[in-house]
Amino acid sequence: MENNNRFSRTESLLGQENFSRLRMSTVMIIGLGAVGGYVLEALARAGINHLILVDFDCVEISNINRQILALDSTIGNKKSVLAAQRVQEINPDCHVEIFDLFVNADTLSQLPIEKTDFVVDAIDSLNPKCLLIETLYRKRIPFISSMGAALKTDPSKIKLQPLDKTQNCPLARFVRKRLKRRGCDLKEIICVSSDEIVHVSENALFIENNNSSRGRSRHTMGSLPTVTAIFGLTIANEVILRLSGYK
């Protein structure tokens, strides 16, 4: 281990063999917003050498309060392109692939999910999220899914847990119902969610919009940069430990 290696502290903690295993892994992150952006940041800084980044969206001014890629100078730019540029600044040796698309039944087949070691689901639209989770579950591809971070304020209530154990998360409730009907074993679906109780009508979370290619439209809900970042970093930490074999 070279002392001037930019990842020497990670290697020192994980051990050379585990760190080498981590570096050689391929991770796909789907959704590069409030949660996915922090997953990306941590995995790039951990030294992973192959990242596949998926997002169709552009930075908006309203993203600045919680998204690491959102700056005054990046408004209007593609998140996938910005993400790739940021990774290259962190680790020039990292091979980055970007897919500028919205995940749905027509586009999911375009993603090389079977060539990945791990997938992170940071999608915030219900229909695409359920489709992705079911596909990964059926194909036995390791993944972690992010549930809803909006309206949450208590970091101590954030947990990594099976989907069937989630509480007080309306998004997780919708996902559970759909996946259970489709025959998925909810105990095998690992997610990050918050058990914090918030007072909001379920009807305020999802409104059916069959004319939208983005699945369901959503009401705007308040969110903190702290909570969304913790969601993302919790996911990234678990990915690092699993892929390295440290855990």
For 63-111, write each residue's pLDDT tens digit.
999 999 999 999 999 999 999 999 999 999 999 999 999 999 999 999 9
* Whether 170 contacts 145, CB under 8 Å: no
For 151-177, write each residue's pLDDT tens digit.
999 999 999 999 999 999 999 999 999
pTM, whole model, 2 decimals? 0.92
Q: Three-class SS of residue 143?
A: strand
**Which residues, including other chains, have CB under 8 Å from residue 89's CB and lie 6 or more apart?**
none
User: How is residue 66 written in tokens?
Assistant: 């919680």
Domains of the chain (ranges; CATH) run 10-244 (3.40.50.720)
Rg, Å, the chain Cα set: 17
For 116-160, write each residue's pLDDT tens digit.
999 999 999 999 999 999 999 999 999 999 999 999 999 999 999
